[in-house]
Structure 1
Amino acid sequence: MWRIVDLFLENSFVLFYGLTLILALVQYPKYFDTPLKYYPILLMYTFLNELLGYLISKDFEFNPLFSELYSDNNVVFYNSYSFIYFIYFLYVFRSFISSETNKKQLLILGFGFIVMSILNSFFQDFLLKPQIYAYIYGGLALSYSIILYLKENKGVLRRKIIKLSLLFWISVGLLIFHIGYTPIKIYYTFSRFSDLELYYALRRVHLTLVGVMYSFIIYGFLQLKGKFKTMK
């Protein structure tokens, strides 16, 4: 049974990323004039990055890097993606927060993430090792920005407008994913995978979290009626 489950989970990214991208493009006229207008580009980048990482894990000849030293390593692509991913979403949530104090906090957190990313590259080879410290910082900073966004809008959480707020569903999906995945990411980085049973169990949780996150985002796009509305 686990074989079938694992086969589905390992290949489910095609379904989730593809459907999310299609809906993002179909609904694009409704949010093209907001900071989310770049989201379809990130989705396409996510899909291509995952596809490339998958292909490299199966056959090192798919690696576009010329050096044989990195020919069977796909970590550099995930490190680059994570940097862009966190910078973009910190920018998005800062744009939708009205409090100047909170905006300054997120600006500081954004610069802090850049500094942490630079420092992390001195401790862990950017081309060969996951930038775990930058990832942890980015995950915490993004989670904090989401909480600030939800806190500012707590007065309308029970109103019907919540169903129309694309960013609300994106924020819930992202928050659930990072709360669940960050500990797994730390384990992936520092474990020597001596316990393969635990590794495969965490892998299933990881891929399930991806599916849950994109399910919320897909629902957000399906609920989007008319022009994009914030929760305010």
Structure 2
Amino acid sequence: MFPEISDFLLENYFISIYGITLVLSIIRYRRYFDTVLKYFPIIIAYTLFNEILGGMIKYFDEFQVVFIDKYSYYNVILFNLYSLIFFLFFYYVYWNSIQNISHKNIVKIGAVIFLSIYILSLFFQNPMLMHLYYAYTIGAIVLILCVLFYFKKIFSEKEKPYKHHQNLLFWVSLGLLVFYVFDPALMIIGLKNDYIYIKYNLHTLLYILIVAMYTFFIIGFLLGKRRAFR
């Protein structure tokens, strides 16, 4: 088992950045413990646990969530559930971070649409065996809109008693935007045309995007100031 664990860690080297981000989120927690990001460390811990459990299911026969030999290594149910929790968390964050009423209504409507498509997908796709990519794509689009609304808010403020690079949510938003602009397309390509996905090594690009997103999170934890949080 130890060689398999070593291979798993080498292949999924990006997992270490989840751990680093989690540690920093806890160390810097007093800077944002009473803000909309107060539950962010839980989301990061959940991400880390989800990736480790997903890898164990994929690599080790002792772990499985699908009790059919042909699909015993399938772990997509973990990520289908994760995307639901992740998107809803950030919809909550941005709904509470923007003041424009029309933008808040769009976020609310987008969340309802995402939830509706997610529920409908359960009737047409087996969440144990298939990525709910329709719901995921809509969820990512709504999240991108949330980030853009937030950026419009902070960049249109006439009085700026703080610098954007001192704002944790600014860096979190940058990371989310960089990742979710590309990730839905990568997922669909991987599911619909694995030849292109493998030929152009898009899995490596996915890892790079993950590292980039969490690097922005880390910068936010390092530079973030309590007074600058918006």
Distance 1:25 1:187, change over 3 A: same
Q: TM-score normalized by structure 1?
A: 0.88
Q: TM-score normalized by structure 2?
A: 0.89
Cα distance in 1 for partners of 2:159, 2:178 equals 20
Offset of residue 7 of structure 1: 8.6
State the identity as a percent: 36
Unmatched 5+ residue regions in structure 1?
1-5
Encode CA deviations 1:151-189: one digit per residue, 9 max, x unaligned: 111135996520111000000010010112121011112
| AA matched with 2:153 | E
Q: What residue is the counterpart of 2:188 in the other structure?
A: 186
Cα distance in 2 for partners of 1:144, 1:224 equals 23
- Which secondary structure does the structure 2 equivalent of 1:57 belong to? helix
Any residues of structure 2 matched to 1:85-124 within 5 Å, and which?
Answer: 85-124=86-125
Q: Is the 8 A contact 2:54 2:75 kept in 1?
A: yes
Offset of residue 195 of structure 1: 4.9
Cα distance in 2 for partners of 1:46, 1:190 equals 25
- Which secondary structure does the structure 1 equivalent of 2:163 belong to? helix
Q: Is the 8 A contact 1:166 1:223 kept in 2?
A: yes
Q: Is the 8 A contact 1:173 1:216 kept in 2?
A: yes
Offset of residue 60 of structure 1: 3.2
Cα distance in 2 for partners of 1:226, 1:183 equals 36
Between 1 and 2, higher relative CO (CA 8 Å, sep ≥ 6) is seen in 1
Offset of residue 100 of structure 1: 1.4
Cα distance in 1 for partners of 2:8, 2:61 equals 21
Any residues of structure 2 matched to 1:1-232 within 5 Å, and which?
Answer: 10-63=11-64, 65=65, 67-68=67-68, 71-155=72-156, 161-191=163-193, 193-195=194-196, 197-198=198-199, 201-227=201-227, 229-230=229-230
Q: Is the 8 A contact 1:30 1:228 kept in 2?
A: no
| AA matched with 1:114 | L
Cα distance in 2 for partners of 1:218, 1:72 equals 32
Q: What residue is the counterpart of 2:4 in the other structure?
A: none
| AA matched with 1:129 | M
Superposed CA RMSD: 2.3
